[in-house]
Amino acid sequence: MSENHGSGDRDVGGEGSKERTVRHPPHGFRLGDGFVIEEPRRLPLRHRCQVLVCGAGPAGVGAALAAAREGADVILLERWAMAGGMWTAGLVNPFFEWREKGFLVAELIARLESAGAWKLWVKDYCFDPEAMKLTLETMLAEAGVELLYYTLAVDAIRCGDRVRGAVIESKAGREAILADVVIDASGDGDLAARAGCEFRFGSPVDGFVQPMTLMFEIDPIHGLRHRNSGELYDWLRAAIEATGSDFELPFPRYSAAPYVITLPCDAGGAVQATHVYRLNPLDPADLTGATVATRRQAHELTRLLRTMPPFRDVRITATAPAIGLRESRRIIGCATLTRDDLAAGRRFEDAVCAVRFGVDIHRAAGAGTTPDPAHGIRMRPYEIPFRCLLPRDVRGLLLAGRCISGDHYAHASYRVTGSMMATGQAAGLAAAWAVGQGCDPADIDGRRLRRVLAERGCRFLPDDA
């Protein structure tokens, strides 16, 4: 047990009873003028491991699986009661950028398909979120990954220039985990930021990040497949006028929203429609306000949908437990992927995956403003170098997922889940190799990493791409 019983423990309930009365000694604090001083404390060491992965979203599960299958002792932390991150807690469909990623991405899709949880929608393939939860947990258990739900990594344990582990918070209190290599797959770069890594935030146009969206699921939709967002936008506008509603659609008429995305069951759909703007995803008050506002939007949008024949009986079956964040911290790495790299379709000798997804910038400041001129910029298929997964400021730490090193424009292309799982599987391999070789992740040969990923089915760009 990790529960650290205090000196006040005593048996109660008579002979043979297992009941205890417990009192933990309170921690000391001193109050200052506008601040609180926390007294030094000794943190219980919950675990030592070889690879610690913080965050069990697409990048985190990819990292944990890859490292564990290479023989590393792996612990995977997750704040929600499920693996999958935006796939499951965020209800985000479809599964973009899964092609050509090979390795664990291909295996995951094969398992979903075998379970009847994978099906073509108009724009790409979709999955059943409940099947995704079970599939990921099965894969993690088979690989021997130790999974800890309901756990937050709240600080980095940094000694000198090296990250040695993380401080965690859970129902068991404040504890520590030490690791040879740590992978930040938190999405927001939480651990890297707390380790002192420099990061960038916001658009160079106005300083805001892209809007947040709360996905929600509805049924029945009778197998509806609308082919473009403009069609549904016009239906909603007509419903607003017909009903005299004062509801304002939270997006303009453009390609990114709204969509009703048919799920594998055909009777239900995931809705990509809600948007909130000019809020900070690193501020809990803004996150709370965004969640309340978008849940209200979801119910109002569903009421409008019921005025249309294809949705006459529709109801909300679930709003996502977690609001979807398109963008937050971008940690500065040993290399930074830029808009120019995308325009040139650059290849890298230490590439971890190729990306073909367009630059998808939802208007950061709201529907009534001029769109960012970079939305839809011309680009070519490009590759993400391993150096973008290596923070510039510290050792012993790898990045995976949307917190990797890139500018605002490149991030708007690579941030989708297939590419993010691909960065995770690469980070996991590199972490396990670093443990095995007794070296820092930055010393891993990126060219070898690319070769091994290619051997495991990851397809990179040809020389004449």
What's the pLDDT tens digit per position in 423-433? 999 999 999 99
Residue 25: inside a domain: no
- Residue 13: predicted pLDDT: 61
Q: Which residues contact 71 (CB under 8 A, 6 or more apart)?
A: 432, 436
List the CATH number of the domain containing 157.
3.50.50.60
Residues 394 and 269 both lie in one domain: no
Into how many domains does the chain fold?
2
Residues 64 and 189 both lie in one domain: yes
Bridging pattern class, strands 45-54 and 74-77: parallel
Q: Which of 288, 319, 350 is the C-terminal boundary of a domain?
A: 319
Residues 60 and 170 both lie in one domain: yes
Residues 68 and 176 both lie in one domain: yes
Residue 10: inside a domain: no
Residues 178 and 268 both lie in one domain: no
Residues 362 and 311 both lie in one domain: no
Residue 15: inside a domain: no
Instruction: Give every residue of the chain whose pLDDT is below 50, as ranges.
Output: 1-3, 5-7, 367
Residues 229 and 296 both lie in one domain: yes
Residues 95 and 192 both lie in one domain: yes
Mean pLDDT of the residues in the chain: 92
- Residue 381: predicted pLDDT: 97
Query: Coil, strand, or helix at residue 156?
Result: strand
Residue 234: inside a domain: yes
d(CA 370, CA 233): 19
For the chain, the straight-line distance linking the first and the last C-alpha, in angstroms and rounded, comes to: 55
d(CA 314, CA 317): 9
DSSP string, 388-425: GGSBSS-BSEEE-STTSSB-HHHHHHHTSHHHHHHHHH
Residue 208: inside a domain: no
CB atoms within 10 A of CB 254: 15
Q: Which of 319, 339, 360 is the C-terminal boundary of a domain?
A: 319
What letter represents residue 445's amino acid?
Answer: D
Residues 257 and 333 both lie in one domain: no
Residues 143 and 183 both lie in one domain: yes
Structure tokens at 211: 């809007």
Residues 196 and 236 both lie in one domain: no
What's the pLDDT tens digit per position in 339-395? 999 999 999 999 999 999 999 988 655 545 555 555 667 899 999 999 999 999 999
Q: What is the pTM of this model?
A: 0.94
- Residue 369: predicted pLDDT: 53
- Residue 2: predicted pLDDT: 46
Phi-psi category of residue 449: left, alpha or beta, with phi > 0 → left and psi -120 to 50 → alpha: alpha
DSSP string, 245-273: -----SS-SBTTB-EEEE-TTSS-EEEE-
Q: Which of 319, 344, 365 is the C-terminal boundary of a domain?
A: 319
Residue 1: inside a domain: no
Residues 263 and 342 both lie in one domain: no
d(CA 191, CA 202): 19
Residue 302: inside a domain: yes
**Which range of residues forms the domain containing residue 60?**
46-102+130-203+329-455
Residue 141: inside a domain: yes
